[in-house]
Amino acid sequence: MSKVHNYSAGPCILPQEVLQQAAAAVTNFDNLDLSILEISHRSTSFVKVADSAIAMVKEMLSVPEGYSVLFLQGGASTGFLMTIYNLLTENGKAAYSDTGTWSSKAIKEAQRFGNIDIVSSSKDKNYNYIPKGFDIPSDADFYHFTSNNTIFGTQYKEFPEFDGVKVCDMSSDIFSRQINVADFDLIYAGAQKNLGPAGATLYIVKDEIFGRSGRNIPAMMDFKVHASKESMFNTPPVYSIYVAMLNLEHMLKNGGLSTYENLAQQRAKMLYSEIDSNPLFKGTAAIEDRSNMNACFALTDDSLKEQFDKMWNEANISGIKGHRSVGGYRASMYNALPLESVEVLVNVMKKLNS
Ligand SMILES: *Cc1c(COP(=O)(O)O)cnc(C)c1O
């Protein structure tokens, strides 16, 4: 067991069991006497890994027929671009919600290509809430939003409704909550937040939207190309997919999505209860929109900073410094974070107030 309580915002904590299996495969993968780092992505042993990773994503999220699951390179930031190449028509427009740094970045990329309608934004209050009750024009080529705002600690508790093509960046809360994949046309997520190590990006694409933009799409940006080659149009991020597969296996063994949804709710409840009851702390996000994954909070009296920082450091807590755009603290509680780690943090907060 690691003694460090790892609250890293990303790349994220992974289960010890997964790390051990991943380490063993670096020297001897699948009893081949070869490393996972030095074999062909088209070898039987690795194709089996990729196939089972895809099958387990489908199982975890109950992905219906008619969707392709892809593991590609380039991070969620490339997902911003792939969304546009595949879905934005030459003279069309797209609708976006701006709820934080990552949605702003997605918008910025989209604006290079066409007419973008920002249908809701929480920029006026430094993104500390989720806008509600806005209209999405029915003639938009697609609507894009970010389910969990990793930096500002807000999360949609209910997803916006839109009858057209719906796209969601779920990088930082995928596999932590039940979702109905059929409500979406495209879901994407950088693996390093809640699935595995950096390097792989997960795409769940409705096959119906292939080539929807009518653009001359560069092959590497084209979902149809990647789907027709089962994510092996070019060399996929082999090791990253392998570790993600181990983690999916681990999560399914532990009860799948309902276990992790439950855990996420328990961790969040424990930490937010302390933030709300301890007079030395305050939460920075609107209460009803608080993220179960990334809890942002601050000291009510900044002169206690040095003392608090020393205390959590001594308790072997790592990674709770807030992002520079919010300040304060951010505790990222991804799937592999044990409840025990939250207990340790809560106890440090209590001790500061005693
Ligand atoms: C981290 C993050 C990104 C960026 O992911 P990269 O894989 O680094 O490109 C995008 N969206 C969200 C919600 C994130 O948390």
pLDDT tens-digit readout, 224-283: 999 999 999 999 999 999 999 999 999 999 999 999 999 999 999 999 999 999 999 999
State how far the alpha carbon of 264 is from the alpha carbons of 98, 155, 321, 335, 338, in Å: 25, 13, 20, 7, 10
For ligand 1, the distance from its centroid to the CA atom of residue 31, given in whole angstroms, is 35
Which top CATH class is 256-352?
alpha beta
The CATH topology of domain 16-253 is Aspartate Aminotransferase; domain 2 (3.40.640)
| Domain extent listing, the chain | 16-253, 256-352
pLDDT, tens digit (0-9, with 9 covering 90-100), for 146-163? 999 999 999 999 999 999
For ligand 1, the distance from its centroid to the CA atom of residue 285, given in whole angstroms, is 20
Whether the pLDDT of residue 301 is over 80: the answer is: yes
Let me know if 222 is a catalytic residue: no
Query: Which token pair is 304?
Result: 């206690």
C-beta of 77 in contact with ligand 1 (< 6 A)? yes
Rounded to whole angstroms, how far apart are CA atoms 89 and 269? 43
In the prediction, which pLDDT does 1 show? 62
Alpha-carbon 12 to chain mean position: 10
278 close to 349: Cβ distance less than 8 angstroms: yes
Work out the percent of the chain whose per-residue pLDDT is above 90. Answer: 98
Distance, first Cα to last Cα, the chain: 30
Q: Which of 98, 141, 166, 169 is catalytic?
A: 169
Whether the pLDDT of residue 56 is over 80: the answer is: yes
Q: Which of 98, 102, 141, 185 is catalytic?
A: 102
Whole-model pTM: value is 0.98
Q: What type of residue sits at position 223?
A: F
The DSSP code sequence of 116-141 is EEEEEE-GGGTT-S---S----TT-S
